[in-house]
Structure 1
């Protein structure tokens, strides 16, 4: 059935097709002046544009690539196969953004996942039964049965654990949808500014009230290692390792790292279609999220442009941002500039003409940005056939094909060992590693692949930016490591390697080069307690206003951080809008 695609087997890394397609959101001509210019057409930049333009602020979005979306993008890497190349699943998108921008009206369609997690165990089956696996879903009774295979005690405790995490996530919500406390305003000599800044304390007080007796549990999550938290709750290793993966995925952390518990909480903050903690695939891939936001922004009049590379931010003699200069020398002036680029790019590349003492460039040296993961987009001609959950004869997707598959999660110690290897610049290669997350979105969305074929996203945790000895990734190293990853999958699902038609491997330097993600970090900076809330991106500025007047940070490097959440774009736009109205 997939014969016409077999010529792509073992295809080398290729760039997406260069063809341009006209979109309804594309503006016809770039003007020389707008009220606001946004650098970068990632989801946060597009959200900021939508809110600004909706409020009557003429706004232009300038995206350097041929496609909008930043890390939330869909690309047809191989003919007929459409991949979410970086961000791959949806949950964290804030309900306010979803409703206020009417994203459903603008084409966003979500397939909710249930179950949401599948962990096959690499072991011999017994009494003619396949190896065990752990599947977690929205059904408490099914969860008790699944976890009970490994521990009856854990089966009883899991519901209480989920309840606590849901309570903590709900309590934190007021902080996600507003800027952090305005510390500078509270200490201002202006009485009016101090009174205005008092309002920024309200979300913090609301969170404290909602936490109530759970404040000690919240504090523990912020400061303790994930292993300490999970060891207190559970005894079975497959459950602890599966949960621990959510505490480290996309972060240079070990479950033994103090503060890693917050990343665990961050991944349960989501809501889709009114269902707390739900995760889903987007029809057409994650680029459809960005497309729906772009349509919303354009419907209010925002101008969106691709292939517009910003060279630097225009600054007045007094140091105020007043527009941008493109790579071709074109100047686009504006009253404010919002940067959806990483903080490092914004202050170390786009404002180099400013003396260091006038910018946060020097403090950025201490901003932790490394992200040790390697995404792979794989085209296959059939579904993986896991030993722990064999396929049916008709080859149709089963429930476990529709969720996140965790491989090498038999023991949480494996995760720490893989982390230690990465710290030494060694991609994990022992039989117990690498740590993998795997999704098959075409199992629910047939628009992504030809009939009978599928697209698979594989995320390998703990792949260092720089290899041991200071060596850089090359094609040999990249493919050798990809082979190790595929060997791992083959152990759980024999026949996987033979099903592969093509693969697109992205190392951390590739993520930096293609998507502009400094250090390959999809979150624009580590999600650690010392780089969150009042310290994101730096303690000297955390309310989206940068030290450069008129320049705002609206990407994942700002509060509340990474994931396709949209809070940073929405909050930054509202802050900039308030400043424009007061000016």
Structure 2
């Protein structure tokens, strides 16, 4: 074993949150060591060449940016190019035996109004849509600034909101009821409800707040809720943060598997092995937990809590060409936004009931994105296109008995559902890799767990929390404390305001330590 070095802080986990914490601490003059198990930094925010011989850099896990605050980008001098999509969403439908669609532009111009009118027969549903999202926009503008401040108490936060009613409703009422107050069309309600189900297995009719919390985090980013495409893929985001951390003096090690933590009143000793199996140790005044809470608890010898359960089917594809659409819409326009397939409110309910009974849904609600339309750089001038599919209501438990077979059946179902809206089979559009295989890669929650050490494959590391101090004793803190005063959480699920690629966990951990 090498002789133990001494650092002000050791960060366990080199995902984007761990890197944000390292960058802030190093810029403040702290000596910082980051230990990452994988051979690349970034955790789920990485770009990879997934298919042999196909020069395309896919955002293999996370794929869009919304919650990353402009403050973090500015503080760390991150040279990011985050691009808006002209189309917010597009939904192919079959009504009365006809192929129809619903288009929602980013700025909701005349084409959006015409699309709502053609689908629903009046302007009433669009008016409800605009009222609902207008209220959510006001909430986002009021709530977003608090995410980079110490946790407000409930009364303090309510006093800062211009529309406390929508905040109350999201917290106290089933999401389906809140959406139903504003929207009546089955398909339109479903489009709204999906933001409460990304990576989260929840009943939208339950008053447990699970879907409401997920919904909130998908609507408040930077006060606009806009989901933007990072030029260069998600790896450009984590790469920029890693560069900032290194430039400030932090040491970043990959291939470093942490094996044990020893806590003391004055600090922590961290043990790890490198890629060659050589054992190392380092002493630190503080430990920053960038790994999933369950992983950190195991290293600390803490009792195991409930096992998280992710709920998503991720399918990465590279296409030779975009398929035509039976609705007659231009795929080069509508695929640039989020494409909702079989995500009506009734389809969501049916899928949840089936999955809750332990069975793969007959119809899997899913979304599709083509990032190469917004960022052609990721395909390197090849003329190819990326296509990312994200399925809902596919919890980890469904894959336990037969991981490969269930995943393959899930992929078969979503491809068949997609094909119903295409003028040609999706399989005919797939590129072929250097080994003669179609460029399609699927991952269940169990696959995500194996690749990224996210227990249960939960992309948020566990259930999200409301971004407020629900305990009065927590008000004014950063929401990162653990059972040991020398160990702070920085991960998505370990902090009060984690979730998605936001950096909020790492930011809060750094502010907590620097404030000490």
- TM-score, normalised via structure 1 length: 0.80
Using the TM superposition, give the Cα deviation of residue 41 of structure 1 relative to its aligned residue in structure 2, in angstroms. 0.9
Cα distance between partner residues in 2 of 1:39 and 1:524: 15
Identify the match of residue 178 of structure 1 among 144, 149, 154.
149
Identify the match of residue 476 of structure 1 among 384, 399, 405.
405
Query: CA 1:124 to 1:390, structure 2 compared with 1: closer, same or farther past 3 Å?
Result: farther
Using the TM superposition, give the Cα deviation of residue 389 of structure 1 relative to its aligned residue in structure 2, in angstroms. 3.8
In structure 1, the residue matched to 2:250 is 302
Deviates more, 1:283-292 or 1:115-124: 115-124
In structure 2, the residue matched to 1:326 is 272
**Cα deviations by residue, 1:44-73 (Å, 9 ceiling, x for unpaired):** 111001100010011111111111111111
**Cα deviations by residue, 1:129-182 (Å, 9 ceiling, x for unpaired):** x5233334223544333222224211223222222101112222243113436x
Cα distance between partner residues in 2 of 1:341 and 1:293: 17
Kindly indicate whether residue 50 of structure 2 is the aligned counterpart of residue 50 of structure 1. no
In structure 2, the residue matched to 1:147 is 116
In structure 1, the residue matched to 2:295 is 345
CA contact (8 A) 2:4 2:280 kept: no
- TM-score, normalised via structure 2 length: 0.89
**Cα deviations by residue, 1:241-291 (Å, 9 ceiling, x for unpaired):** 1111111121111221222233222211123xxx82322111121111000
Using the TM superposition, give the Cα deviation of residue 351 of structure 1 relative to its aligned residue in structure 2, in angstroms. 1.2
Cα distance between partner residues in 1 of 2:367 and 2:470: 30
Cα distance between partner residues in 1 of 2:418 and 2:150: 43
Cα distance between partner residues in 2 of 1:205 and 1:99: 30
Identify the match of residue 89 of structure 2 among 111, 117, 123.
117
Using the TM superposition, give the Cα deviation of residue 457 of structure 1 relative to its aligned residue in structure 2, in angstroms. 1.0
Which residues of 2 match residues 17-56 of structure 1 at below 5 A? 32-56=5-29
Using the TM superposition, give the Cα deviation of residue 533 of structure 1 relative to its aligned residue in structure 2, in angstroms. 4.1
Identify the match of residue 405 of structure 1 among 339, 346, 362.
339
In structure 2, the residue matched to 1:447 is 377
Deviates more, 1:84-93 or 1:132-141: 132-141
Query: CA 1:39 to 1:76, structure 2 compared with 1: closer, same or farther past 3 Å?
Result: same
In structure 2, the residue matched to 1:234 is 183
Q: Secondary structure in 2 aligned to 1:492?
A: coil
**Cα deviations by residue, 1:95-132 (Å, 9 ceiling, x for unpaired):** 1101111112xxx2222112111111134676xxx523
Cα distance between partner residues in 2 of 1:371 and 1:71: 14
Q: Secondary structure in 1 aligned to 2:485?
A: coil
Cα distance between partner residues in 1 of 2:20 and 2:478: 19
Which residues of 2 match residues 366-381 of structure 1 at below 5 A? 369-381=308-320
Identify the match of residue 520 of structure 1 among 457, 466, 477.
457
CA contact (8 A) 1:52 1:59 kept: yes
Cα distance between partner residues in 2 of 1:205 and 1:466: 39
CA contact (8 A) 2:103 2:111 kept: no
Which residues of 2 match residues 69-80 of structure 1 at below 5 A? 69-78=42-51, 79-80=54-55
In structure 2, the residue matched to 1:195 is none
Deviates more, 1:133-142 or 1:43-52: 133-142
RMSD: 2.5
Q: Secondary structure in 2 aligned to 1:526?
A: coil
In structure 2, the residue matched to 1:290 is 238
Kindly indicate whether residue 426 of structure 2 is the aligned counterpart of residue 426 of structure 1. no
Identify the match of residue 547 of structure 1 among 473, 478, 483.
483
Identify the match of residue 313 of structure 1 among 253, 261, 264.
261
Cα distance between partner residues in 2 of 1:220 and 1:99: 34
Kindly indicate whether residue 435 of structure 2 is the aligned counterpart of residue 465 of structure 1. no
**Cα deviations by residue, 1:401-460 (Å, 9 ceiling, x for unpaired):** 211111002x3011011112222221212xxx2111111111122222252311111111
Which residues of 2 match residues 72-221 of structure 1 at below 5 A? 72-78=45-51, 79-104=54-79, 108-123=80-95, 131-149=100-118, 150=120, 151-180=122-151, 207-212=157-162, 214-221=163-170
CA contact (8 A) 2:287 2:487 kept: yes
Kindly indicate whether residue 254 of structure 2 is the aligned counterpart of residue 264 of structure 1. no
Residue segments in structure 2 that go unaligned for 5+ positions in a row: 431-437
Cα distance between partner residues in 2 of 1:101 and 1:141: 39
Which residues of 2 match residues 358-373 of structure 1 at below 5 A? 359=302, 361=303, 364-365=305-306, 369-373=308-312
The count of aligned residue pairs is 493
CA contact (8 A) 1:171 1:208 kept: no
Deviates more, 1:297-306 or 1:165-174: 165-174
Identify the match of residue 504 of structure 1 among 441, 444, 448.
441
In structure 1, the residue matched to 2:435 is none
Cα distance between partner residues in 1 of 2:167 and 2:376: 41
Query: CA 1:339 to 1:315, structure 2 compared with 1: closer, same or farther past 3 Å?
Result: same
**Cα deviations by residue, 1:8-52 (Å, 9 ceiling, x for unpaired):** xxxxxxxxxxxxxxxxxxxxx998221111011111111001100
Cα distance between partner residues in 1 of 2:111 and 2:269: 56
Identify the match of residue 574 of structure 1 among 492, 511, 515.
511
Using the TM superposition, give the Cα deviation of residue 344 of structure 1 relative to its aligned residue in structure 2, in angstroms. 1.0
Query: CA 1:542 to 1:91, structure 2 compared with 1: closer, same or farther past 3 Å?
Result: closer
Cα distance between partner residues in 2 of 1:69 and 1:330: 22
